[in-house]
Amino acid sequence: MECPNCGFQNYDATECTYCGRILNTAEEPAAVTEIRDAEFYFLKGEEHRTRKELQMAISFYIKALQINPKHSNSFFHMGICQSDLGLHEEAIKIYKHAIEIDPDNSDAYYYYIGISHSDLGLHEDAIKSFKCAIEIDPDNSDAYFNLGISQNRLGLHKDAIKSFECAIEIDPDNSDAYYYYIGISHSDL
């Protein structure tokens, strides 16, 4: 069977031996093949993202989304790449779209929206996003920690101390939370 993706001739294979695309077989409906193809491109994007080849990773996430426009992991990781490239406004738009198509994982999306807002210096917006993430997942130590960072930057030191305490209670090994907690609680408020 000839691979529709790369044209390589495969014999008795369900996956192209050249590019890895799942080949449509008589037993497998086309919709299943499309989902696997989207997952294939997503995983290729992940390979590039882990090597810090962010533009290449984004191009694979886009290919995955062309096949399956509701592939939320592609949106999520494309947002991470945009953020790593310093394109925080674009990352926020992507995370918000991911919330629309995958509300079950919105705690992670809100957390990363908060990170992007914080990186932009928009700490009031970051606080709102971290609180949304915490409301969905009250055991998210990182969200409490970053909430405390944004509160501290706005001069809300007592609130920041409470957030760091929560982060430490959830994750006693969170050394960053201890560092900020000790630094703020021992300063002149």
Quote the pTM value: 0.77
Question: What gap in Å lies between CA 55 and CA 135, rounded to an integer?
Answer: 33
End-to-end CA distance of the chain: 72
34 DSSP assignment: H
CB 117 within 8 Å of CB 92: yes
Amino acid making up residue 28:
E
Give pLDDT, residue 177: 82
Helix (H, G, I), strand (E, B) or coil at 85: coil
Only one residue has tokens 């592939």, namely: 71
Give pLDDT, residue 32: 47
Amino acid making up residue 139:
D
CB 112 within 8 Å of CB 86: no
* 88-101 vs 106-119: helix crossing angle, rounded to 10: 170
Half-sphere exposure (CA, 13 Å, Cβ side) for 81?
25
pLDDT along the chain (189 residues), means of 10: 60 60 56 68 94 95 94 94 96 95 92 97 98 96 96 95 95 84 71
Residue 165: which residues within 8 A CB-CB, separation 6 or more? 181
Question: What gap in Å lies between CA 154 and CA 19, rounded to an integer?
Answer: 51
